[in-house]
Structure 1
Amino acid sequence: MAILKIIGILLEVVLLFNLLIVVHELGHFFAAKWRGLVIEGFGIWFGKPLWQKKINGVNYSLGCIPAGGFVKLPQLMDSAIEGDSEYAGKELPRLKPLDKIIVAFAGPLFSFGLACVFAVLVWQIGRPVSEGERTTQIGYVLPGSPAEKAGLQAGDSIKTIDGTPITRWGGQSAGSVTWRIAGGEEPTAKLEIQRGTETKTLEVTPEVEATKWYQRRGLRAIGIAGTSHPMVAKTEPGSAAAKAGFLPNDVLVRVGGEPIYFDSSISSWAKRHPGQPIVITVERGAKRADGTMPTVDLTFEPRGILVAEVFPRSPASEAGLLAKDRILAVDDQPVAFGENFIRHIHGHLGKPVALTIERGTETKTLIVTPEIPIEGGGDKPKPSIGIQLDRADGLVFDLRGKMSPVFPSPYEQIAEATGMIIETMKKLSPTSKSGIGVQHMGGPVMMMRVYYLLFESPEGWRLVLWFSVVINVNLAIMNMLPIPPLDGSHITLALIEMIRGRAPGARTQKMVEYVQIAGTFLVIGFMLFVTAFDVQDVFGGKKPTLRFPPRTPATQAPG
C-alpha cells in the first residue's frame, strides 16, 4: 500500500506540473489563432510522439516525456528551438509588433488567470495554516545561540526587526521573522520585543551555518523558533504517555500552570522543578459556545530516555552503551527528557559522567567522558558522547502542529504571492548586501519536491492549491522579464520595433538572433545551476554521524 501511495502522489505531482506549463502554452496558442499566425504544431509533452494528428494545418501531438508542452510559431524568431520546421526556407508574412506583443503576453496572462482560478478555490475551501506560521511570539531559544546570548526568551513577542513591523513568522514577506533575519544587510539585527508589560530592544548578531562547497550557502539565523503548541499525533501502547491519558489531537497548553510555547517547554519546566509531578493541561474536544476550549489536566510520569543509536568508536561505545538502553539518570539526577540530558553532557567536557541505565531487567552504571567530535558536529561542535536519542515517554507529536483554516480573498493571495517575488528580487539585486543569492532560488526539481511533500500531508490538495497560486504568479511575472528567450524579450523587441516604426534590418536581425541564442544558454545555465542544488537537497543528505579522536577505553563501574 505504501508503494501505491507513493506512485499516486508522484502521478499527482506530474499531472499538476504539466497543467501549469500546458496552460501557459495554451495562452500563446489561442492568441496566435486569434491574430492569424502560422501555427506549425501544438504538443503536450516532449520526445517521440505517442500520438499525433494534423488538423487545419496544425500538427497536434502527445509526446512520451511528461515535461510540459510547446507551441511552434515559425514567425517568431526562436521557432527553430523545437527542431526542424516544415516552413524552413519559406517566406512567411512578417508579424506586426502588436501581434508579437499579444502572442507573447498571452502566456503569462494565462498563467496569471490560472493563479486566479486556484485563488478562488482557496478562498472557498480554505488554506490550512499552522500556528507556528502565523505567530510573532518566540517559542524556543536554542541554547548557546545568538538569541540566547542577546537575552531573548521563550514567550517574547517580536514587534519589529530593524524597524520593520513583524506580522508573521515564516514566509518571504517583508513582515516575516525568518525573512527579516535571513535577508538582513547589517552585521546585527535589532529586535523590538514585548515581554509582559515591558517593551525593550535587543541587538542580536546572526550566524551563518557553514556548508560544503557543493551545498547552498547557509542563511543568517539567530536560533529561535515560533510558538507552536505541541499536538499529539499518537501514543505508544503501554508508554508513560498512554498511561497518563493523552489522546490524538490533544493540544498541550500548560505545564505546572505555566504556558507551553514549544515542546521543549515541558523539559525546561521539569529541569526547574526536579522531583515534582509533571501536570500537563491539554485542550481536548470542540470549542465551546463562548469560544473557549475545554481542558483536561494529565499527570505525566516519563521514565528515562531511550538510546536510538551508538556511533562506533565514540565515548559511549567504549563505555559499553548499546542501542535500546534506557538512560534513567545522569550523575544520580533522574532524566526524562533528551534536552536536559544533552545540556548536562555539554557542560561536562572532559569530565567523567555516570549514566544509570536499564537494559532489559538489569540496571547498571556506566562511566563515560564527553569529548568534542572531530567530524560531524557542525562548524561549532559541542561536547558529546556519540549517541542519538529516542523518546522513551511514548508521546509522538504532529510535526505540523495545530492547523487552522484561513480564507484569504483572491486579491490577498495574489498580492501576497507578488510581494514574495518582489522581496526576492530585492535581495537578489546587485545593491543588496544580504546573504541571499541566486543559489537560494529553486527550479523544477524543488517545485516538484514541494508539491510531493504537500500532497503527502493530510491537508493535501488545499495546500497544493495555495502553493499553485504562488507558482503561477511567479511564472507570469518571471516570464515578463526582458531576458531572451522569455516572453518579456519578445515584448521588448516588439515595442522597440513599434517605437522605431520599422522592422529591424538584416544586420540588426542577426544581432538579435545571437542575443537570443546567448540568452537561451544563459537561462539553461541558470536552470542547471539551481537544479544542481535542488538535487543535492533531495539526494545529498547523509545519515548523521560523529567521529571522535582515538581514546583510552572508559571504565565500567560495578552495577
Structure 2
Amino acid sequence: MNALAVVLVFGLIVFIHEWGHMMAAKRAGIAVPTFAIGMGPSLFSFWFGETEYHLCAFPIGGFVKISGMVDDGHMPDKADNAQHVDEVPAEPRLKPLPSGKERMLTKDWSDATGWEKASILVAGPLMNILAAMLTIFVMGQIGFQVNDVMINGVEDGMPAQQAGLQAGDIVHSINGSVVENSQQFIHAVQASGGETVSIGIKRHGEDVEISATPRSREGFNEGKLSLGVVLTEVMKSSNIVSLVPARSSGYSAGLRVGDQVVELNGEPVSNGLDVLLAMAPFNDASYEAQDYYGHPLDKEGHPLGEDGERLAVSEAGVLLDKSGKPLVSEVTGEPMQATVFGPMELIVDRDGERIPITLPAATTMVSGGVSFRPDLMRLPFDRALLRSLDEAKYSLLGIIDGMRAIFTKEGSKSVGGPIMIFNLIGQSASSDIYTFLMMFMVININLGVLNLLPFPLLDGGRLVFVALKGIGLRISENSEATVHFVGSLILIGFILYVSFFDVLALIPRSGGG
C-alpha cells in the first residue's frame, strides 16, 4: 500500500468536504473557530483570518468547528464553551483572536436561519459530488475507457438465432450507426418498427454483416421489439491487472496489481477480451462457491434464490423467476446473468517470473475481484461532458445497489470499511492515472451521497433536525446531541464490524501466491 498516497488522497477528500461546510458558514456570517484535517492531537496549526487551522496526528477524517453547533456528544452552550466562548454568560464572545486581528464574523449556529443551516449542512457533501464531477471531466481529457458490446447469449427460436448471430460476436454497428454501449443497440432495435436491421459484428477477427428482423414477444419486456440476444459490455483493456480488492477471491488466490495475465485455461491472452473469451463455463459438481458479493451458488455453479431454491436459467444464460420470466436488475434494468465461470487456471508474469494462479468460480473476472488496465480514448468536449454525467449516474446507481446489500447477511460482509478504502487508494496509486482518478471520483461521490443520508451525526441527520425545527417542533439541544451521540456509537460499531472483515481479507491464506 502506498501510505503517502493514502494520506494525501484521503486528506484532500476530507479537506474538500469540510471546506464546503466552512465557506458556507462564513458566507452566512457564522464564526468558524477551528478547521482540522485528521483526528487526535494537533501536529501543526496556524491562524488565517478568523480560523485556526490544524493538521492532526491521525489521517482519518477531519472536522470544522462551527460556533454554537451541536456536537456529537454535547452542545457547546454560550455560557460554558471554554474553548470557543469567553466565560461571560450575559453576552458570550468567541475565543479571542491573536493580537492585531479583528473579528468580523460574530454570529453562531443558533443565530442562523433554517435555510442558512441547511445550506451549510449540504455544502460539504455537495463539494464532494462536484469534485467527483470535475474528476470525471479531467478523466475525459486523459481519455475515457472504451467498451466492446459482446453478445453473451442467443435465445432459442428468436430472430438473432435465426439470422446466425452467435455468443462471442462483438457488435460494432447497427444500421450504419456506431454502437458504443448495449443501450444504444437495444434502443435501435426497439425503434426499428419491426423493419429488418443490419448488424455489423466482428467474429474471430473478421468483420461480418448480418441482417435480422426484430419481433415482439408477449409477456417479455412489455411486448417491446427484440432480437433475443443477451448483451454484455466488455471494457477494452490490456492484460495487466490494475486493481485487486483485498476482499476478493482474486486477492486471496494470489493476484496482485501489476500482474500480467499471459495465459488462461491453457489459452494465450493479450487483452481483456481474450481473457473473457478464454473463460470456460463452470460445471464442477463437487465445488461449492459464492460470487464476489457473497450470493450463494449451488454445487453446479448456479445462483440460488432468497429461499435457497435453485433459480431456473434460460438458454441464453438469463436467470428466470418461478413463473419463467427473466429476472431484471432493479439497478440497471438489464436481465440478470446466470453464467458462472471457473475455476480459472491463470499464468501471470510478475517481474519476469511466470506464476500459476487458480481463481475460484465467479460470474466474471471483475466479480472475482480482478480489473485490467483500460484502453483510453479522448472525446470532444460535448461528448466528454455527457459521458461525465453518465459516469456520475452509474456511480450513484452503484451506491444504491451497495446500500441495499448492506442489509443482507452476505452483502454486509462485502461492504468495505476504511482499511479497504485505504488499500484500494494505495493500489490505484501504484497502477495508472485513470484507475487512480476513478478511485478518487468514486470515494468523493460515495462520501457526498452517504453524508446526505438521514442518519444521526451525518449531515443528512442534522438536516432532519433543522427541518423538524423549521415546522415548529420544539427539540432541545441536549436531546439532539444525545441522538447524534447514539448515532456516532452505531457508526463506530459498524466501522469496526466491516474493518474486522477488511483485516481478515488482508491476512495471507494458505495456498495464496
TM-score of the two chains, using structure 2 as the length reference: 0.52
Counterparts of 1:108 and 1:389 in 2: how far apart (Å)? 42
| Aligned counterpart, 1:556 | none
Write the letter of the residue equivalent to 2:443: I
Indicate if the aligned counterparts of 1:112 and 1:473 stay in contact, CA closer than 8 A: yes
Counterparts of 1:438 and 1:465 in 2: how far apart (Å)? 26
Counterparts of 2:479 and 2:404 in 1: how far apart (Å)? 27
| Aligned counterpart, 2:411 | 437
Indicate if the aligned counterparts of 1:497 and 1:504 stay in contact, CA closer than 8 A: yes
| Aligned counterpart, 1:112 | 129
Paired residues for 1:67-466 under 5 Å: 67-78=60-71, 86-87=83-84, 94-96=110-112, 97-127=114-144, 129=145, 134-137=147-150, 155=168, 262-263=274-275, 380=299, 400=372, 403-405=375-377, 407=379, 409-425=384-400, 428-429=403-404, 437-457=411-431, 460-466=432-438
Counterparts of 1:55 and 1:445 in 2: how far apart (Å)? 33
Counterparts of 1:433 and 1:485 in 2: how far apart (Å)? 20
| Aligned counterpart, 1:188 | none
Indicate if the aligned counterparts of 2:37 and 2:54 stay in contact, CA closer than 8 A: yes
Indicate if the aligned counterparts of 2:453 and 2:459 stay in contact, CA closer than 8 A: yes
Write the letter of the residue equivalent to 2:388: Q
Counterparts of 2:276 and 2:129 in 1: how far apart (Å)? 43
| Aligned counterpart, 1:527 | 495
Counterparts of 1:402 and 1:422 in 2: how far apart (Å)? 22
Counterparts of 1:136 and 1:37 in 2: how far apart (Å)? 53
Counterparts of 1:453 and 1:78 in 2: how far apart (Å)? 35
Structure 1 pair 411/262, CA: closer, same or farther in 2 (3 Å)? closer
Structure 1 pair 73/79, CA: closer, same or farther in 2 (3 Å)? farther
Counterparts of 2:399 and 2:475 in 1: how far apart (Å)? 38
Write the letter of the residue equivalent to 2:435: L
Counterparts of 1:536 and 1:37 in 2: how far apart (Å)? 45
- Counterpart secondary structure, 1:48: strand
Q: C-alpha offsets along residues 363-413 of structure 1, whole Å, 9 cap, x if unaligned?
A: xxxxxxxxx899xxx98599xxxxx98689x99999837723254634532
| Aligned counterpart, 1:485 | 457
Write the letter of the residue equivalent to 2:83: E
Write the letter of the residue equivalent to 1:538: L
Q: C-alpha offsets along residues 58-107 of structure 1, whole Å, 9 cap, x if unaligned?
A: 33222222234321124111165799851477656523222221211111
Indicate if the aligned counterparts of 1:427 and 1:434 stay in contact, CA closer than 8 A: no
Write the letter of the residue equivalent to 1:95: D
| Aligned counterpart, 1:513 | 481
Tell me by how many angstroms 1:52 deviates.
2.1
Is residue 2:46 matched to residue 1:30? no
Structure 1 pair 37/380, CA: closer, same or farther in 2 (3 Å)? same
Q: C-alpha offsets along residues 19-75 of structure 1, whole Å, 9 cap, x if unaligned?
A: 011111011111222222232211222322222234555332222222343211241
Indicate if the aligned counterparts of 1:31 and 1:106 stay in contact, CA closer than 8 A: yes
Write the letter of the residue equivalent to 2:111: L
Aligned length: 345
- Counterpart secondary structure, 2:457: coil
Counterparts of 2:497 and 2:261 in 1: how far apart (Å)? 43
- Counterpart secondary structure, 1:106: helix
Counterparts of 1:251 and 1:444 in 2: how far apart (Å)? 34
Indicate if the aligned counterparts of 1:42 and 1:58 stay in contact, CA closer than 8 A: yes
Q: C-alpha offsets along residues 202-255 of structure 1, whole Å, 9 cap, x if unaligned?
A: xxxxxxxxxxxxxxxxxxxxxx9976889678xxxxxxxxxxxxxx99999xx9
Q: C-alpha offsets along residues 317-343 of structure 1, whole Å, 9 cap, x if unaligned?
A: xxxxxxxxxxxxxxxxxxxxxx9xx99
Give the greater-gyration-radius structure (CA): 1
Counterparts of 1:495 and 1:530 in 2: how far apart (Å)? 32
Tell me by how many angstroms 1:481 deviates.
1.3
Counterparts of 2:236 and 2:72 in 1: how far apart (Å)? 56
Counterparts of 1:450 and 1:421 in 2: how far apart (Å)? 19
Indicate if the aligned counterparts of 1:74 and 1:80 stay in contact, CA closer than 8 A: no
Indicate if the aligned counterparts of 1:21 and 1:69 stay in contact, CA closer than 8 A: yes
Indicate if the aligned counterparts of 2:36 and 2:53 stay in contact, CA closer than 8 A: yes
Write the letter of the residue equivalent to 1:438: S
From 34, 58, 65, the equivalent of 2:58 is 65
Indicate if the aligned counterparts of 1:417 and 1:474 stay in contact, CA closer than 8 A: no
- Counterpart secondary structure, 1:481: coil
Tell me by how many angstroms 1:482 deviates.
1.4
Structure 1 pair 390/424, CA: closer, same or farther in 2 (3 Å)? closer
Q: C-alpha offsets along residues 433-487 of structure 1, whole Å, 9 cap, x if unaligned?
A: 9887333322332222222222222xx2222223322322222221111111111
Structure 1 pair 532/168, CA: closer, same or farther in 2 (3 Å)? farther
Structure 1 pair 499/455, CA: closer, same or farther in 2 (3 Å)? same
Structure 1 pair 100/542, CA: closer, same or farther in 2 (3 Å)? farther
TM-score of the two chains, using structure 1 as the length reference: 0.49
Write the letter of the residue equivalent to 2:469: E
| Aligned counterpart, 2:257 | none
Structure 1 pair 99/135, CA: closer, same or farther in 2 (3 Å)? same
* Structure 1 gaps, min length 5: 1-5, 141-151, 159-165, 176-193, 202-223, 234-247, 269-338, 350-371, 383-387, 546-559
Indicate if the aligned counterparts of 2:237 and 2:375 stay in contact, CA closer than 8 A: no
Counterparts of 1:473 and 1:518 in 2: how far apart (Å)? 26
From 455, 458, 467, the equivalent of 2:439 is 467
Counterparts of 1:44 and 1:230 in 2: how far apart (Å)? 37
- Counterpart secondary structure, 1:49: strand
Write the letter of the residue equivalent to 1:31: A
Counterparts of 1:533 and 1:124 in 2: how far apart (Å)? 37
Counterparts of 2:48 and 2:11 in 1: how far apart (Å)? 23
Counterparts of 2:50 and 2:22 in 1: how far apart (Å)? 14
Write the letter of the residue equivalent to 2:377: P
Counterparts of 2:409 and 2:42 in 1: how far apart (Å)? 45
Indicate if the aligned counterparts of 2:428 and 2:435 stay in contact, CA closer than 8 A: yes
Structure 1 pair 138/103, CA: closer, same or farther in 2 (3 Å)? same
- Counterpart secondary structure, 2:42: coil
Counterparts of 1:483 and 1:452 in 2: how far apart (Å)? 30
Structure 1 pair 168/522, CA: closer, same or farther in 2 (3 Å)? farther
From 29, 39, 55, the equivalent of 1:46 is 39
**Percent identity over paired residues:** 23
Counterparts of 1:521 and 1:64 in 2: how far apart (Å)? 22
Indicate if the aligned counterparts of 2:149 and 2:232 stay in contact, CA closer than 8 A: no
Tell me by how many angstroms 1:525 deviates.
1.9
Counterparts of 2:409 and 2:215 in 1: how far apart (Å)? 27
